[in-house]
Structure formats: structure tokens, C-alpha cells
């Protein structure tokens, strides 16, 4: 899947959780990505993390998932 499409999807997830406090939203986004994204999707967004436009909460969530070695 193209990196810009993955970024779009991550940002949509972030918008869904935007009503929550920032830390809870980041945790919820990360949990969603871990549970529902295919490993290839997680790998691809990680590989292009610096090149894609992510909202702050979505970016932090992807970084958390990356640090958790789920990729």
C-alpha cells in the first residue's frame, strides 16, 4: 500500500480518537494499529515515517508501536 494512503488511514484513526485526552488518544491509535493493521502495513509506514504527513497523535502512536517491536 502506498505510504500516503497509510498516513491517510493513520490520520483518520487519529481523528476518531481526537475527543479523548492526548495520551489516551495516542494509546488508542497505537492499539488499533497493532490489532488491525497487517504487519506489512506497519512495516511500510515505519519505513516512510519521515516522509509522510502525520498528525502529531498519529505520529506518536506509530512511533510507540515501532518501539514496542510489534513491526
% the chain with pLDDT above 90? 85
Q: Which three cell numbers stand for residue 68?
A: 514496542
Instruction: Specify the pTM.
Output: 0.89
User: Which stretches of the chain are DSSP H helices?
Assistant: 3-16, 22-36, 39-47, 56-67
Give the angle subtended at the CA of 65 by the CAs of 13 and 41, to the nearest 5°: 65
Handedness of CA 4, 32, 57, 18 (dihedral sign): positive
pLDDT band of 66, cuts 50, 70, 90: confident
Q: What is the pLDDT of residue 69?
A: 59
Amino acid at each position: 500500500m502506498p505510504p500516503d494512503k497509510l498516513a491517510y488511514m493513520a490520520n483518520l484513526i487519529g481523528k476518531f480518537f481526537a475527543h479523548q485526552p492526548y495520551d489516551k488518544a495516542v494509546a488508542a491509535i497505537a492499539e488499533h494499529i497493532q490489532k488491525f493493521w497487517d504487519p506489512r502495513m506497519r512495516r511500510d509506514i515505519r519505513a516512510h515515517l519521515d516522509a509522510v504527513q502525520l498528525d502529531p497523535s498519529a505520529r506518536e502512536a506509530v512511533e510507540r508501536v515501532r518501539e514496542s517491536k510489534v513491526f
